[in-house]
Structure 1
Amino acid sequence: MEKIKVAAIIQARRGSTRLPDKVFLELSNKPLLEHVVNRLKKSDLLQEIIIATTDLPDDNLIQTWANSNNISVFRGSENNVLERYYEAAKKYQIDVIVRITADDPFKDYRLVDEAVRVLIDNKLDFVCNNNPVSFPEGLDVEVLTFNALEVSYNNVISDFDKEHVTQYIHKNKDKFNIANIQNEKDLSFHRWTLDTIEDYQFAQKIYSELYKEGYVFLREEVLELLEKSPLILELNNKVNRSDLYR
């Protein structure tokens, strides 16, 4: 595995329409983006973490934050996120890319490592845990080879597929060697991502109960808290969910 460069690319921008500037919303006195990065730093297999933001002036602040925290950064197209990933992976010479979105403050580094191992050990092109879904929304993991990313980039046509990096692979399974990691229990009814103020209130509550400086709490601890305090689920259970999780 030493010869294979594995890196997470976090897509991040300030221009969210439903929850503006959400990457800098604070949870336990730290911006969301910092929590996402710190959770990934616990991974055994990630050799680099790269923030891929847009080339819009509004996102200069993301570059400034990344620079001040010694995180690699790449800037590219606002809407063609696939191109942004492709150019970032090329620049940093990444062989295996872990796709991360910056609005998921509960990412599980163990799932990241499991997906990377499955991909490398089985010489696959793409490994995910969301097709079909069985983990909470927000614990999605998608890992792909540079070759799979390049094939997608060279063949994609629709704007939707350019915006959603891995859609070309999901829609053309016959062209790739793919695996999906399934959870023992279907937890896909949980929503652990940030798109709305209700989601933010949910995350604030979880972090207020579980976050400790220097410690990354695990998904089991979140589930245990939600079993003890089921009312927390009501904070964001009426939010419109992505198509996968409906």
Structure 2
Amino acid sequence: MTIGIITQARATSTRLPAKVLLTAGGKSYLHHHLERLTRTGLPVIVATTTNPDDEPIVELSTELGFPVYRGSELDVLSRFAGAIREHELTGVVRVTSDCPLIDPAVVTEGVERYRAENAGNVYVSNCLTRTYPRGMDYEVFSAARLLQADEVATLPVDREHVTTYLHQNRAGDMRLVNVPWDGGDGSTYRLTLDTEDDRKLLGTLIEEFSAERLDCAELVALMDAHPELAALNAHVEQKKLNE
């Protein structure tokens, strides 16, 4: 079984343009993200778009030694399908590049659970019921199932959000497995990069607390100990699937 991580990235984000190319601690947020994923030991593929605005993402990823697949900007499902075919994956971990502090051990736990289930119709995630902070999200699923979704999915939400065809069980036989955090409940915290206030928090965490060296439990403990940090982006609402 060849399992690979596919992370989606683009420069034309609406709330905070080119957000993954912004920097903290002397590195872009994309660089932090990819470095942490490398620690899983799995191959990591950057799925970006053919839009010329994404050339800096291609250049940075290539410079860091990560393969890049370029596909549709809006039909992200087809972009993932193309990356799967090009790299001949049988299993996929989907993450998003706006998670610069994603914990590699959290991702590894999800992959291990997926392997243990040993079924092509299983979808494993840690955010079906949220206990982790935003920014630690992953999904693990069969490459064959996503390729099937790419062939038959017609709803715009399925084309844009990649995995809704799977976790909404449109095929009728998917088995959904949630992996909760055994460290408690960090679901109120945002460690993801979507707005300027998210950037203020992440920049502070990295530049003042060396957050790039911390795991999920340590990050949550830090936020618990410093409520003024959590307050920086506590008001930010996550965009809904149809937005």
Bin of the TM-score, shorter chain as denominator length? over 0.9
Question: How high is the TM-score relative to the length of structure 1?
Answer: 0.91
- Given candidates 109, 122, 125, the residue that maps to 1:114 is 109
What SS class does the counterpart of residue 94 from structure 1 fall into?
Answer: coil
Q: Is 1:72 matched with 2:79?
A: no
Residue 24 of structure 1 deviates from its aligned partner by 0.6
Who is 1:202 aligned against? 201
One-letter identity of the residue aligned with 2:210: Y
Residue 186 of structure 1 deviates from its aligned partner by 2.7
More divergent stretch after superposition (217-226 vs 77-86): 217-226
Who is 2:15 aligned against? 18
CA contact (8 A) 2:186 2:220 kept: no
> Which blocks of at least 5 consecutive residues in structure 2 are unaligned?
none
CA contact (8 A) 2:167 2:174 kept: no
Distance 2:100 2:75 in 1: 24
- Given candidates 35, 39, 42, the residue that maps to 2:36 is 39
Deviations 1:183-220 (A, max 9, x none): 232321111111100000010111123328xx632112
One-letter identity of the residue aligned with 1:77: S
Deviations 1:48-85 (A, max 9, x none): 11101000111112111122111100000000101100
Who is 1:154 aligned against? 151
Residue 96 of structure 1 deviates from its aligned partner by 1.1
Deviations 1:122-167 (A, max 9, x none): 1133210111111111111101111121122122111111110111
What does 1:85-234 align with in structure 2 at a 5 Å threshold?
85-124=80-119, 125-172=122-169, 174-184=172-182, 185-211=184-210, 216-234=213-231
- Given candidates 2, 6, 16, the residue that maps to 2:3 is 6
What SS class does the counterpart of residue 188 from structure 1 fall into?
Answer: coil
Residue 97 of structure 1 deviates from its aligned partner by 0.8
**Aligned length, in residue pairs:** 237
CA contact (8 A) 1:39 1:216 kept: no
What SS class does the counterpart of residue 149 from structure 1 fall into?
Answer: helix
RMSD of aligned residue pairs (Cα, Å): 1.6
Distance 1:38 1:227 in 2: 25
One-letter identity of the residue aligned with 1:82: L
CA contact (8 A) 1:126 1:148 kept: no
Q: Percent identity?
A: 32
Distance 1:220 1:121 in 2: 24
- Given candidates 37, 58, 61, the residue that maps to 2:56 is 61
Distance 1:100 1:227 in 2: 25
Residue 243 of structure 1 deviates from its aligned partner by 4.4
CA contact (8 A) 1:50 1:74 kept: yes
CA contact (8 A) 1:191 1:236 kept: yes
CA contact (8 A) 1:7 1:49 kept: yes
Task: Give structure 1 regions of 4+ aligned residues with deviation exceeding 3 angstroms.
Answer: none
More divergent stretch after superposition (189-198 vs 58-67): 58-67
